[in-house]
Copies of this chain bind each other. A is one copy, B any other.
């Protein structure tokens, strides 16, 4: 009854008939500095990275330190049984795992079981989410990606094999108080429900370095156009072009930042399913509408979902190239077919991009299960409903991103489904879920998996909640108010209008810092918004406390893990600790090194847990010792390509420091051909020990949107 033997026999007899079993050594090839790839079984000709059409940033990868293969190769196992791929990676005792999709409630993933499945987030970190990226990062400084366009099940340190190398202790639950409902597991085990897959290991000297490799291999992060980092308002769904112009004017009247406006379903002549054609009653002159807005410095972002209405002109063209099932009565274009993409491109360029539309919000490519095709759907390209579901968000991001790239125009939009390989995509993920705290946890988790996430604001029960949400969203990749259903405005709660404006203005002032931070994403693979667990010197361990027996709520005495999921870094220097409605005080965990209050430069602590009571008007922000924050004066909009603004350079703490200020034209891809500046801002102590700042000159002929005059602010007196 030796089943290894049995499979070997089966293999010999049946493999070519039924693909029943292959056991194999995993052969690793170092394909880039510190990145290893292996193919197990017969990988499919569709995958996540293939769908994302990644273009690795080889030179940037070369600049990273060397890394050794992080695991004992013989501990990595792979076999293909009955058309399914079984994988195993080793874990050591103290190792922590992060990533495995855009989770909303947990940061630590060791000990979890997840079926990674593109879907609307349903309230549980079970793998069903908007970006179920099959990539995990270890606290030991490496990452693992399963590049399969399938519903991959991951047992992240849960399964215990009879032949485990490092076995858990056997205890008697009857009498042993140390009995544990979750015995120790020494492996990550993964089931890929297909005949093979490519797998990648990303080495590193830290978890962050593994993430950098992951992002750079995916093409590096995206640098949004500058306007994309300004404030955006999404208007009620049936607003006409006149209503929207009025809305923009109202923002001027309220002196509130506004860089782009989101136009919701009402722009379509029919929505759910959509025509992708302007409704002539609400938008009689779409080109004029776009140019009128542009004259006010405001871009247009169009909502869509990709399900095509029978009444539009696209329908007959796309029908032969669409899937077997409709979504909301719309046909689903098969984006694996070049012909389908071509037809869409022609239509979208002519009707949108060429008349001034600057981006899209791509809704409902995630699921909720009901609002996507079923797994039994068939597509003319031959790919299955499951495969298409896992990659559709990537395909549509890739397709639309390329349209803008061909126009040498950066876009920045929203998408509701993504997956591995998306680092370079010009899209931010959002959803209909609305827990403020969980939104922050998602923002933290986005940093492990190469996606961007916005904790969008829609509505609130109280002015306090409104302000707290507005404060958070201003410290995220997209500062957005989504009023499609609620008709809210930033000033909806007059009692906090000033405080809301203040935080929006602060974001606008921080654009030089934020833009430089995004350039790190592009050039070094460093996520702009970062989990504390990716930060050097952050050493808070998830503590496990014993569970209490309860016959109903906790019959297995499951232990409770505490983890840090409500604070994060924006770039290298700013620690953000959002406040939530109903809270006057919160704890902040400060990594090693001294930390200073952003607002007044006072010292707050180092390598410790502090309590802060910031008042309603402020979101707690802390800067590390020596941290330099380039800012600009308050302005309602991001700078235009030809605009020069003053530079305010803040320094915090007592230490020397440096910062690389990045700039380019803010709108095109010319920076990829070298049309950008990197300027060194350096603070050193003089002989007397006083801090002095210098700033290098930008290279001649390169875009640099700052005046020569620099205002230095040494915040810590």
**Could you tell me which A residues sit within 8 Å of B by CB distance?**
1-3, 6-7, 10, 16-19, 81-84, 86-88, 113, 122, 124, 153, 155, 158-163, 168, 170-174, 179, 181-183, 189-191, 193, 195, 237-238, 265-266, 268, 270-273, 279, 309-311, 319-329, 331, 337, 339, 368-371, 373-382, 384, 432-434, 458-459, 482, 484-486, 549-552, 555-556
Contact = CB atoms under 8 A, between A and B. Distances in A.
Counted per complex, copies of this chain come to 2
Contact of A163 (B171, B182, B324): B324
A183 B326 contact: yes
A2 B319 CA distance: 11
Contacts of A158: 369-370, 374
By DSSP majority rule, is chain A's interface helix, strand, loop, or mixed? loop
Contacts of A273: 170
A411 B238 CA distance: 66
Contacts of A19: 18-19, 83
Contact of A174 (B16, B268, B323, B375): B268
Q: Which 6 A-B pairs give the minimum distances between C-beta atoms?
A: A485-B551, A173-B272, A434-B552, A159-B374, A172-B270, A170-B329
Contacts of A190: 376
Contacts of A88: 376
A84 B83 CA distance: 10
Contacts of A113: 369-370, 374
B549 A485 contact: yes
B329 A173 contact: no
29 contacts: A3-B379, A6-B382, A7-B382, A10-B382, A16-B16, A19-B83, A81-B384, A82-B384, A88-B376, A113-B369, A155-B376, A159-B325, A159-B374, A159-B377, A160-B327, A161-B325, A162-B325, A170-B310, A173-B272, A174-B265, A174-B266, A179-B272, A191-B374, A191-B375, A371-B556, A432-B551, A432-B552, A458-B551, A486-B551
Given A173-B270, A182-B370, 10 more contacts: A1-B337, A6-B382, A81-B378, A158-B369, A160-B327, A161-B325, A170-B309, A174-B271, A181-B370, A183-B328
B555 A485 contact: yes
A376 B189 contact: yes
Contacts of A485: 549-551, 555
Nearest to A487: B551
Contact of A551 (B82, B324, B459): B459
Contacts of A10: 382
A370 B112 CA distance: 8
Contacts of A384: 81-82, 84
Contacts of A556: 368, 371
Contacts of A168: 329
Given A81-B384, A159-B377, A174 B237 contact: yes
Interface centre among A16, A324, A484 (most CB of B within 10 A): A324
A485 B190 CA distance: 35
A328 B182 CA distance: 7
Given A309-B170, A370-B113, A161 B324 contact: yes
Contacts of A323: 162
Contacts of A370: 113, 158, 181-182
Nearest to A19: B18
Contacts of A550: 485
A175 to B, nearest CB: 8
Nearest to A153: B375
A459 B373 contact: no
B3 A378 contact: yes
Contact of A321 (B1, B122, B159, B337): B1
A466 to B, nearest CB: 14
Contacts of A328: 173, 181, 183
A273 B311 CA distance: 63
A182 to B, nearest CB: 6
Nearest to A334: B1
Contact of A380 (B1, B161, B459): B1
A159 B373 contact: yes
Contacts of A551: 432, 458-459, 482, 484-486
A551 B170 CA distance: 50
A486 B482 CA distance: 49
Nearest to A21: B382
Interface centre among A160, A266, A376, A550 (most CB of B within 10 A): A376
B329 A380 contact: no
A270 B179 CA distance: 11
A331 B162 contact: yes
Contact of A3 (B83, B161, B380): B380
Contacts of A3: 324, 378-382
Contacts of A1: 320-321, 337, 339, 380
A340 to B, nearest CB: 9
A650 to B, nearest CB: 37
Contact of A18 (B179, B181, B195): B195
B326 A162 contact: yes
Nearest to A322: B162
Nearest to A3: B380
A485 B547 CA distance: 14
A368 B554 CA distance: 12
